[in-house]
Structure 1
Amino acid sequence: MATAASPSRVSPRPTSNEGTHPEQQYLDLMRRIWEEGDERVDRTGVGTRSVFGAQLRFDLADGAMPLLTTKRVYWKTATREFLWFLTGRTNIRELCAQGVEIWTDWPLDRYRRETGEDISRKDFSARIVADEEFALRWGDLGPVYGKQWTDWPVYEPAGNGLFAQRERGVNQVADVVESIRNNPGSRRHIVEGWNVAELDQMALPPCHKTYQFHVADGKLSGLLYQRSCDVALGLPFNLWGGALFIRMLAQQCDLEPGELVWMGGDTHLYLNHAELVAAQLSRVPDGSPKLEIARRPESIFDYRIEDFEVTGYAPQAHIAAPVAV
């Protein structure tokens, strides 16, 4: 519960459209964390207010997507990141070349610490794009999301009690497509990112770690579990990515989109996000963003950014806030 030193209560909830818009549950979670969450010392040193265990549900029928309207969410950036996950690659060079800086802060922080050079983020990204050798040295994140999703390592006996890593590991995404198509009633439609043996090699262990899918009445629903969730900056992207995953899988498996169920473990707001929280909670959600997928590629790995179009999205202004590394 809140301590005496906790941030003051934010302004009362706006009454217009209250309780009717799907986004209201996100705003209610934000308010609950800020007013009632435990104040905690976290890995970044910034400090958070946190609750443990949270759930949000979004109906994806008729193209609906959980795209926040109370601030601008850069859905194309989130989509580029998700498509990058599906490549299985782990170097930020490809992202930086597209102007996507979601992952730049972690390699940049390591570069500054190890070299002592106070290079700007812009200059670091430009050098990553321009210099392949530099990118290989400083731009790799380790075996993060996409590597685990598409190439989970497998070790086989090599004789004399030794084991060797198989050239290609398990492609969980390809396997889940086949599983949904051929055994829709299975309870094993899972994509997992939490590879305990490789956590210490990752720039950041997976936050959105487990995806599970469920087929019923010709619809595909998905559950996303996050062990750790930055509600202000991360969750808007995570909700989009989870819903996008469902939409792509549904198209590939001849199903209709069902529901996104999101579950959070340590669900938190950073203490230096006070202005963002106050601004966003003063706003009223409005509109019904929808996603159209222009074509059906041959496989789930063949989508391009041009395949996605959002309509009905008129968000309120972007709210900037610092990222805790």
Structure 2
Amino acid sequence: MPSESPVHFEHQYLDLLRRVWEQGDERRDRTGVGTRSLFGPSMRFDLSGDAVPLLTTKRVAWKTAAREMLWFLTGDTNIRELVRQKVHIWTDWPLDRYRRETGDDIDRNAFEARILDDDAFAARWGDLGPVYGKQWVSWDTYVPAGEGLFRQGEPINQIAQLVSDIRTNPTSRRLLFTGWNVAELSGMALPPCHMTYQYHVAGGRLSGMLWQRSCDLGLGFAFNAFSAAMLLRMLAQQCDLAPGELVWSAGDAHVYLNHEHLVHEQLAREPRGRPVLKLNRRPASIFDYRIDDFEVHEYDPHPHISAPVAV
């Protein structure tokens, strides 16, 4: 008799989605929408053979997630470049601030058009504060300047340091970076949700762990898991290692109450196919990848499921 095919990677996500919806603690949250929440779940994804944890029970705009990851690595914190690439996932936060502070009930299309056309408007209203990319590649430092004063020192590029450390000290327990800069949280449009990444080298394979303080399972997880796998593949390529496992874990894993339709529809679908992520070239550094360096093959997902973003 033929052996049974291995369990599809996506079932662990669907099991968690069901468990959070059926057993999660229902609570009011920062957005006012409300969630059902569980604390401390984890999942493991094998990335060998170019496998990638790209959900198939709904279509995921993986190129949008990839463009966002590449944007993080530039250190940019203004939505203008994302909007220029037709990536809208960060627009709601500055748009909400603009509406609150000006009283102008502008729609998103008009707001983004002004971001692209007006330098001064983009500088003021497109800025997200010191979010992910700023902390990843330009973490501020301060050095004594005499008489109890301090001046700004050289910023720390955590990603460049990580690549160097993986290459030169692969058994280190400090192969990590974080976006959780306590001193700058109040200035961020959104404090980092996918906040700490740690890596481990064994047997010529690079594995990674992503810890999220907060994960929107209905919308955010699909992007978070793909992006973390993509970054791990980039790091492995730059460090002459094979990809190992991606370990995902969360503090507060939740489903928004207005995503009930998404939960039921997605749980009614069966995962299909096993997508793979191909890297088309090896750039000179981790910062030189372009969107056309990535291709996803064998991806035949179910249709997209629309759901609102809670701001």
Q: Choose from 224, 244, 249 the match for 1:263.
A: 249
Task: Indicate the residue corresponding to 1:251 in structure 2.
Answer: 237
Task: Indicate the residue corresponding to 1:139 in structure 2.
Answer: 126
What one-letter code is carried by the residue in structure 2 that aligns with 1:121?
R
Q: Choose from 102, 118, 124 the match for 1:115.
A: 102
Report the 3-state secondary structure (helix = DSSP H, G, I; strand = E; otherwise coil) of the residue aligned with 1:300. Answer: coil
Instruction: Number of aligned residue pairs: give it.
Output: 308
What one-letter code is carried by the residue in structure 2 that aligns with 1:67?
L
Q: Deviations over 1:77-117 (max 9, x none)?
A: 00000000000010000000000011000000000001101
What one-letter code is carried by the residue in structure 1 that aligns with 2:70?
L
Task: Indicate the residue corresponding to 1:14 in structure 2.
Answer: none
What one-letter code is carried by the residue in structure 2 that aligns with 1:38?
D
Task: Indicate the residue corresponding to 2:79 in structure 1.
Answer: 92
RMSD across aligned C-alpha pairs, in angstroms?
Answer: 1.0
Q: Deviations over 1:154-180 (max 9, x none)?
A: 0001111100112x3100000000000
* Preserved CA contact (<8 Å) 1:18 1:24: no
- The alignment-based identity, stated in percent, is 67
Task: Indicate the residue corresponding to 2:265 in structure 1.
Answer: 279
What one-letter code is carried by the residue in structure 2 that aligns with 1:262?
W
Cα distance in 2, alignment partners of residues 177 and 141 from structure 1: 27
Q: Choose from 314, 317, 324 the match for 2:300.
A: 314
Cα distance in 1, alignment partners of residues 162 and 43 from structure 2: 23
Q: Deviations over 1:304-323 (max 9, x none)?
A: 00100110001100000000
Task: Indicate the residue corresponding to 2:179 in structure 1.
Answer: 193
Shift of residue 200 of structure 1? 0.2
What one-letter code is carried by the residue in structure 2 that aligns with 1:124?
F
Cα gap change, 1:185 to 1:25, in 2 (>3 Å): same
The question of 1:297 aligning with 2:294 is answered no
Task: Indicate the residue corresponding to 1:3 in structure 2.
Answer: none
Q: Choose from 55, 58, 78 the match for 2:42.
A: 55
Cα distance in 2, alignment partners of residues 140 and 115 from structure 1: 16
Q: Choose from 141, 150, 171 the match for 1:163.
A: 150
* Preserved CA contact (<8 Å) 1:71 1:315: yes
Shift of residue 51 of structure 1? 0.1
Task: Indicate the residue corresponding to 1:35 in structure 2.
Answer: 22
Cα gap change, 1:18 to 1:254, in 2 (>3 Å): closer
Cα distance in 2, alignment partners of residues 121 and 29 from structure 1: 33
Shift of residue 127 of structure 1? 1.0
Cα distance in 1, alignment partners of residues 217 and 110 from structure 2: 29
Shift of residue 132 of structure 1? 1.2
Task: Indicate the residue corresponding to 1:23 in structure 2.
Answer: 10
Cα distance in 1, alignment partners of residues 44 and 152 from structure 2: 40
Runs of 4+ in structure 1 over 4 Å off: none
What one-letter code is carried by the residue in structure 2 that aligns with 1:213?
Y
Cα distance in 2, alignment partners of residues 73 and 200 from structure 1: 31
Shift of residue 225 of structure 1? 0.2
Shift of residue 18 of structure 1? 10
Cα distance in 1, alignment partners of residues 19 and 87 from structure 2: 31
Cα distance in 2, alignment partners of residues 18 and 122 from structure 1: 46
What one-letter code is carried by the residue in structure 2 that aligns with 1:48?
T
Report the 3-state secondary structure (helix = DSSP H, G, I; strand = E; otherwise coil) of the residue aligned with 1:303. Answer: coil
Structure-2-length-normalised TM-score: 0.98
What one-letter code is carried by the residue in structure 2 that aligns with 1:56?
M
Shift of residue 130 of structure 1? 1.2
Cα gap change, 1:282 to 1:134, in 2 (>3 Å): same
Structure-1-length-normalised TM-score: 0.94
